[in-house]
Structures are given as structure tokens and as C-alpha cells.
Amino acid sequence: MKQRTIFLTLAGTLGFIIVLAWVARPGVPKDEPVVEGTSISAGTLEAKESAYDFGTISMKAGKVSHVFSVKNVGADPVTIAKMYTSCMCTTALLKVGEKQIGPYGMPGHGAIPRIDQLINPGEEATVEVVFDPAAHGPAGVGKIQRVVTLEQNGAKPVEFNFSALVTP
């Protein structure tokens, strides 16, 4: 009986430490409200729009998409190293000129290879974000917020946020 009590105490303590470490992960963004109409700049890549709200969408109606734009406003070329999403219900496709790269999804749900796509000064690219409201089934009903991240060499990543209210 004494050994069982010690084991349960140690297991509970270990579980508590794991939960604390997960909640306090450095560098992981907390759920913050999405603000529409704001522009962001990271390095020399500038997004005309960093957030989009799909409003109320139905799982039955199927996938929805939105296109974000990014431009190299600097004097030097920028390399987009990787692109990925914050959830497996979202994919993203990078378009530079006539070239299409992707779609890419969430790390851990398939390979996220390096893109290493050069964006020249003054050049624009688009990121088409596709969200599948049915991907999580009935558990996915309610307010959602997702992020698509473009990693660029030597600078802060560019993030595109979107939100929706998912109904059955």
C-alpha cells in the first residue's frame, strides 16, 4: 500500500510538471485576438493584411479560402525558407509569379520541406490559405483561430492569422 501511494504521488507530480512545461513553452504564441486590417512588417517582407475573419461558416458548406499578399519592400532579395500552418485543418499554397509551391500543412502531419524561394526587391507573392471546418468533426464547432507562418532567412517570420465561427 505504501509503495502504491509513493508511485501515485510521483506520477502525479511528474504529470503536473509536464503540464506546467507545456503551458509555459517559450516562443509559442498565446491565444490573442485577431485584429483585422492591420499590416505587419518582418524584415523586408511586408504583408498588406495580416488577419482575416471568415465570419460564421458551416461545416456542411465545406472548405473556405482566403489569399494574403506579401511584398519584398527592401533593397535586397529575401528567401522564404519554410511555410507551415498551426493546425492540420489548414493548408497553405505559396504563389510567386506563375510558380506554385505547396500546399503545406502542419509540422508533424507530413513533411515540411524547405522552400528556399527567393523574393526579389519589389516582388510580390501570395499565400492562399484553405481551411476545412469539418476536419475536426463535431469537436471543431465554435470560434477558431489559426496561423500560417512564413519563415524567412535571418528575419522574424511573417504570420497570417485567420478566424471563424464554425457551425454544424
Closest CA to 44 of 80, 93, 68: 80
Longest dimension (CA), the chain: 72
Rg (CA), the chain: 20
* Residue ranges per structural domain of the chain: 32-167
| Amino acid (one-letter) located at 59 | M
CB distance 164 to 46 below 8 Å: no
Give the residue-averaged pLDDT of 27-35. 40
* Topology of the domain covering 32-167: Immunoglobulin-like (2.60.40)
Is residue 69 over pLDDT 70? yes
Is residue 10 over pLDDT 70? no
Note the pTM of the prediction, 2 decimals.
0.72
- Residue-wise pLDDT for 116-160, tens only, equals 999 999 999 999 999 999 999 999 999 999 999 999 988 899 999
